[in-house]
Amino acid sequence: MQTTPQRSQLFIASCLALLVTSLSFGIRAGILGRLGVQFELNGSQLGTIAATAFWGFPLAIVAGGVLVDIIGMKKLLLVAFVFHLLGIVLTIFAGGFWSLFISTLCIGIANGTVEAACNPLVATIYPENKTTRLNYFHLWFPGGIVIGTLIVFFLDKVGVGWQIQVGLMAIPTILYGYLFSKLNFPVTERVASGVSAKDMYKAVFFTPLFWVMFILMFGTAITELFTGQWIDVLLKNVTDNAILLLTIETGVMVLGRAFAKPVIKQFSPQGVLIISAALAAVGLYLLGHSSGNMLFAGALVFGMGVCYFWPTMLGFVSENLPRTGAIGMNFMGGAGMFAVSLYMMFMGGYYDRLKIGKSPAEAGQEIINVTLIIPIILTAAFIGLYFYMKGRKKEVLTAV
């Protein structure tokens, strides 16, 4: 095991970088409807703009997964810093669809590059506690969304424009760029353990369990991220405080990830995934069939459901398929974000078509009810995974 004297500082800087990623998500979710009105964009165009961040992310995370062992995590994170700043500036001065498209793409590339470097970084500096530490790291994603949505909510109340709200992201961006430029980085865990790049790619492409998790990542990411990004648009005609639903959902996620260690120890990663999918399904059902205060109950349950999805999926692969290295973790993240981007573009057009024959409130809740199918399927799939892993563990013990 390689020693990392600065691992606490590296972890803090990583959390700041992820905070910028999540602030972009939360603030964009809060201003998406306003951008549509100001620039006269329909649901399909808004879906395409929002989706750009999600396909820019997999583009960067897959490329970063290939490059991280070659150029190192530090250089990759400085690239993320440049793209974050560029995306923020271009968003502030956007004048319509294409300028918003390009600025959102820059931010998506930055976000993917952050995860491409930071996920393997956290796994490398905390090899004894990967899944728990990844949950601690990823609590800053919902944490930043809480901060971002509250920024939008309160600054809207006092009449501060969306450009200033976006500009506030520059503060943590400059801070994480400075910190990373001063810190020393270890090599990735795969390099340190002597696993060759050839063996890493073989472990990724020729391990059936990896491909099962890869496909399941489509569903977990769509359930969590599509709903969060579009919740204000879909439910703004059902409640006057739709953006606060996202605040509640992500607030629950922060608390859940902060207490990940005892939860994962009690139920195992695959057990946690079963419970997560079931709760996500219940939460979506409530959001799609309720109004008034029951919507906030739905957001609460939904937040409990999606809380552990992303970091536990990554942690499961890192712990059970360690030879897949950084490329395995980054392919997982890329798969999730790519699936969200496609789903978001499709649902943006579907939402426009629904509004022709239904009220906006009915159309929004129907989109949520269609999405409900995904966590129902995931629940069954994770039950299968649970029994598969139990059988595999039993085989290992018998062989010993």
pLDDT of 400 over the 70 cut? no
Residue 195: enclosing H or E segment and its boundaries? none
* Residue-wise pLDDT tens digits, 53-63: 777 888 888 88
φ, ψ of residue 221 in degrees (nearest 5): -70, -45
pLDDT of 399 over the 50 cut? no
Q: Tell me which residue range forms the domain holding 114.
A: 7-399
What lies within 8 Å, CB to CB, of 124 at 6+ separation is 2, 4, 186, 187, 188, 189, 192
pLDDT band at 397 (very low <50, low <70, confident <90, very high): very low
Q: Is residue 45 part of a domain?
A: yes
How many Cβ atoms are within 10 Å of 168's Cβ, its own excluded?
Answer: 17
What lies within 8 Å, CB to CB, of 250 at 6+ separation is 26, 142, 143, 145, 146, 149, 228, 303
* Residue-wise pLDDT tens digits, 367-387: 999 999 999 999 999 999 999
pLDDT band at 344 (very low <50, low <70, confident <90, very high): confident
Alpha carbons 312 and 332: distance in angstroms, whole number: 11
Q: In terms of DSSP H, where are the helices of the chain?
A: 7-38, 43-71, 73-92, 97-125, 130-138, 140-157, 162-167, 170-182, 189-192, 197-205, 208-221, 227-235, 242-258, 260-289, 294-306, 309-320, 325-357, 360-371, 373-399
* Average pLDDT of the residues in 61-88: 90
What lies within 8 Å, CB to CB, of 275 at 6+ separation is 267
Instruction: Specify the pLDDT at position 53.
Output: 78
Alpha carbons 100 and 34: distance in angstroms, whole number: 13
pLDDT of 79 over the 70 cut? yes
pLDDT of 1 over the 60 cut? no
CA distances 392 to 5, 345, 385, 386, Å, are 37, 39, 10, 10
Q: Which of 161, 160, 136, 173 is nearest to 23 (CA)?
A: 173
Q: Which of 15-19, 266-270, 391-395 has the lowest mean pLDDT?
A: 391-395
Instruction: Specify the pLDDT at position 3.
Output: 59
pLDDT band at 5 (very low <50, low <70, confident <90, very high): low
* Residue-wise pLDDT tens digits, 229-249: 777 777 877 777 777 887 888
How many domains, in total, are found in the chain?
Answer: 1
Q: Which of 206-220, 268-282, 343-357 has the lowest mean pLDDT?
A: 343-357
Q: Is residue 231 part of a domain?
A: yes
Place of tokens 């669809």: 97
CA distances 4 to 15, 47, 74, 138, 332, Å, are 17, 42, 14, 21, 26
φ, ψ of residue 350 in degrees (nearest 5): -65, -40
* Average pLDDT of the residues in 188-201: 79
Q: Would you say 152 and 243 are in contact if contact means Cβ atoms under 8 Å apart?
A: yes
Percentage of residues in the chain with pLDDT exceeding 90? Answer: 39
Instruction: Specify the pLDDT at position 348.
Output: 82
Q: Would you say 109 and 57 are in contact if contact means Cβ atoms under 8 Å apart?
A: yes
Most confident of 67-71, 85-89, 128-132, 146-150: 85-89
Q: What does the block give as tokens for 188?
A: 């990735």
Q: Is residue 2 part of a domain?
A: no
pLDDT of 32 over the 80 cut? no
Q: Is residue 326 part of a domain?
A: yes
**3-class SS of residue 399:** helix
Record the pTM.
0.80
Q: Which of 122, 108, 87, 110 is nearest to 15 (CA)?
A: 122
Q: Is residue 239 part of a domain?
A: yes
Place of tokens 């999540």: 22
Half-sphere exposure of 200 (CA within 13 A, CB side): 22
What one-character DSSP code corresponds to residue 225? I
The DSSP line for 342-382 is: HHHHHHHHHHHHHHHHS-HHHHHHHHHHHHTHHHHHHHHHH
pLDDT band at 334 (very low <50, low <70, confident <90, very high): confident
pLDDT of 304 over the 60 cut? yes
Better-predicted residue by pLDDT, 48 or 206 = 206
Instruction: Specify the pLDDT at position 195.
Output: 76
Q: Is residue 137 part of a domain?
A: yes
CA distances 369 to 58, 206, 248, Å, are 26, 36, 20
Q: What does the block give as tokens for 253?
A: 């996620």
Give the CATH number for residue 127.
1.20.1250.20
